[in-house]
Amino acid sequence: MSESFFKGKVAVVTGAGGTLCSAVAVELARRGALVALLGRTAAKLEPVAATIRAAGGVALPVSADVTDAAALTAVSRAIAAELGPCELLINGAGGNQADAVTTLTEFAPAELAGAPDTRGFFNLAPDRFLDVIRANTMGTVLPCQIFGRGMAQRGGGAILNFASMNSYRPLSRVPAYGMAKAGVVSFTQWLATYLAPAGVRVNAVAPGFFLNDRSRKILLTPEGGLTARGQNVLNHTPQKRFGEAQDLLGAVCWLLDGEASGFVTGITLPVDGGFLASSGV
């Protein structure tokens, strides 16, 4: 894989203020890409931009909601005017909401009785469930429409979506997130087929259990030990550790690099320490 491929190319990274996509943005800039950082919160983008600029790279932080088509259209024009047209699109925006997560791992009569602090499937808030679906699915579809249009017009480019372990196996407690991420894999395959005549490749990565601000609270105790869920994850992970952002970069760059993976489109690549390969038995 040649680092020269990325030199001078315009890369748009959504969710660029997050743990994984901020690392992706920094790596693409290190390889010479001109990186537009998209996120809802400008304060989270500025430190990423500062890191890139301090290393001599080019970064343009832009605040935008990836589920707002009008805002994304305006942002795409601003990026094109400042950096040039998008050639590489990384769709990392998404996430979950606490009110769309059950407190139960399986049905219990307590949820029907309205027990306090008990949230099962039957009392999940439909609006919050829909919020998660919208953020992860339409938050992928709309950037593909708006930035992908220019790629199709120019006859080339690469799109990389973010799937999840939930795309393959519906993990307990997160039905909305699992449903959405399964949809991302299906959409990636569909769009890859659709855009192949335009010379645009579309792939996805499926991170395993990586540590970020949200997952640390779920997988680790305040003292740094493992929660029950964290221990269960490692029991099913042959490499016996959680992922770090750096573990994702090789896979991401390979899928984006048209010289290294030019005949690869429509796949979702797990980066999971062997989680999918292990039954835990």
Which of 168, 177, 210, 275 is the catalytic position?
A: 177
Number of Cβ within 10 Å of residue 128's Cβ equals 16
Question: Which residues are CB-contacts of 276 (< 8 A; sequence separation ≥ 6)?
Answer: 165, 168, 169, 208, 270
Distance CA(275)–CA(140), nearest Å, equals 25
DSSP string for 99-164: GGS-S-SS--GGGTTT-TT---GGG--HHHHHHHHIIIIIHHHHHHHHHHHHHHHHT-EEEEEE--
Residue 224: strand, helix, or coil: coil
Tell me, yes or no, if 194 is annotated catalytic.
no
Tokens of 67: 């589920």
In 124-270, alpha helices (H): 126-133, 139-154, 175-195, 213-219, 228-235, 246-256
Tokens of 184: 């991302």
Residue type, 112: L
Tokens of 95: 């996430």
Distance CA(18)–CA(257), nearest Å, equals 22
What are the CA-CA distances from residue 202 to residues 94, 103, 137 (Å)? 18, 36, 15
Among all residues, which ones are annotated catalytic? Answer: 177
